[in-house]
Amino acid sequence: MPWAEGCIRIKVILDHYDSNLTMHSDYQVLQSVFSATEHIPTHDAWRALSSAEKQPFTQLLNELELQHKQASVTAVKQLLRQLQN
């Protein structure tokens, strides 16, 4: 799955598991990615967009990945350690 989608899915799962975890500073990057992508159409709405309409969203996703990938990987590793305890 695309990187941003993974961040979003983990954030939503955390919300359902323990909403306090989402707000913890170790996992704030997941909330940041979620907030920055909330306006992007999904599912059928995404498929209905033309390539030209998708381009700015794709550019944003690429920029977010460049900015936040390392922090998100660190957050997920931390989360895995925490959940194993």
What is the model's pLDDT at position 20? 86
Burial 14-36 (b: 16+ CB within 10 A, else e): bbeeeeebbebeebebbbbbbeb
Q: What is the pLDDT along the chain (85 residues), one digit of tens a residue?
A: 999 999 999 999 999 999 888 889 999 999 999 999 999 999 999 999 999 999 999 999 999 999 999 999 999 999 999 889 8
Neighbours of 69 (CB within 10 A): 15
The answer, as to whether pTM is greater than 0.85, is yes
Residue listed under structure tokens 């498929």: 47
What is the model's pLDDT at position 72? 97
What is the model's pLDDT at position 19? 85
